[in-house]
Amino acid sequence: MSKRKLQPSASNPNQDYCDFLLELADFEKNVSRNIYKHNAYRKAASALSRHPVRVSSGSEARQLPGVGRKIADKIDEFVQTGRLGKLDKIRASDEAVAIGQLSRVSGVGPAKARELFSAGVTSLEELRRRPELLNHHQSLGLRYVSEFEARIPRTEAAALEGHVCSRLAALDPLYCATVCGSYRRGAESSGDVDFLLTHPAFTSSVNEKPARGSSANQKPAKGSAANQKPAHGAAANEKTGGQLLRAAVDQLKNEGFITDTLSHGDTKFMGVCLLPGERYTVHRRIDIRLVPHDQYFCAVLYFTGSDEFNRQMRAHALEQRFTLNEYTLRPLGATGTPGEPVPVTSEEEIFEYLQYPYRRPEERSL
């Protein structure tokens, strides 16, 4: 089920532990459908990957955040036997192996993988012989499965970011795009490159209008701020997310950078891209999420992560009588009801509001 196995190395002396934990995480997500265990295994693997020395026992591993007794027991079993009984059983299950393989395809979730298995598909090779079972996104995901799984070196991720930002600036210098996730936290390689995009003409108040449609009784979109004023200079030039995202994607398509579309909504685009130049030969999946301008820096903070850093910062926000999420920072009233979003024009301002020492993105991998 695991995409590849690596031995302990100087860069990650606990790589083999991380491998089996991530394989267990995939099983829990795709086969058992237990997201709680999935997240627990991934959190433990993340803590082990950042630990600078080799862990020699479960009790030693338990000193790390996110490593509980059951995971520590698995580490002890692996140290003593060089294998894991639970993984042996998983690998002996035709259904588990098939679902793990099929779930590698972009657009094929656990439910679709089970459906394919029920239809007699047990491998990627068999799936390639049954194209009628896949939609457009899944067909492209199957075509590029190996390329999408390849890690993206930091130098290439930086080139992707630079190319997208320069092409959007040529279209309209008011576009702003940021690559978040582990790349922004300084990782040497990334699994994907996800862009957050914004423009002053698109605010949460603009976003709410199409969400409401013609019904006066329809609830506002999640995270919207109905009474918040648009960014300075944007009121007279309001644009919907669909207009702005479509223009941005068309610009990148015209340059030949985006080669295929996986899906395209009003505020989220997923596609396939390839950097120009002979040195770039691997197609990458590109995700572009358009965020209202007044919510952009809360989104940048949230999608930069890490998950543990976000959890700690949200807990601190509550202590300071604020509620913080990917959309807004809001003060809590005397009854605990969130008030209107406070204006945020940078990540640093969020830290200042919360009286929380600023941490640069590369200091947030907890």
Q: Is the pLDDT confidence value at 213 over 70?
A: no
**pLDDT in the model for residue 210:** 56
SS3 sequence of the chain: CCCCCCCCCCCCCCHHHHHHHHHHHHHHHHHHCCHHHHHHHHHHHHHHHHCCCCCCCHHHHCCCCCCCHHHHHHHHHHHHHCCCHHHHHHHCCHHHHHHHHHCCCCCCCHHHHHHHHHCCCCCHHHHHCCHHHCCHHHHHHHHCHHHHHCCEEHHHHHHHHHHHHHHHHHHCCCCEEEECHHHHCCCCEECCEEEEEECCCCCHHHHHHHHHCCCCCCCCCCCCCCCCCCCCCCHHHCCCHHHHHHHHHHHHHHCCCEEEEEEECCCEEEEEECCCCCCCCCCEEEEEEECCHHHHHHHHHHHHCCHHHHHHHHHHHHHCCEEECCCCEEEECCCCCECCCCCCCCHHHHHHHHCCCCCCHHHCCC
pTM: 0.80
Q: What is the pLDDT of residues 229-254, one digit of tens each?
A: 333 433 335 678 899 999 999 999 99
Query: Stretch 148-176: mean pLDDT, rounded?
Result: 96
Q: Which of 140-144, 202-206, 229-233, 271-275 shows the lowest mean pLDDT across its residues?
A: 229-233
Share of the chain above pLDDT 90, in %: 78
> Do 306 and 365 touch, CB atoms closer than 8 A?
yes
Catalytic residues: 74
Closest CA to 259 of 239, 280, 283, 240: 283
The structural domains of the chain, ordered by start, are 1-92 (1.10.150.110), 100-145 (1.10.150.20), 152-295 (3.30.460.10), 302-363 (3.30.210.10)
Contacts of 195 (CB under 8 A, 6+ apart): 161, 164, 177, 178, 179, 286, 287, 288, 289
Closest CA to 106 of 135, 134, 138: 138
> Do 106 and 141 touch, CB atoms closer than 8 A?
yes
**pLDDT in the model for residue 135:** 97
**pLDDT in the model for residue 223:** 36
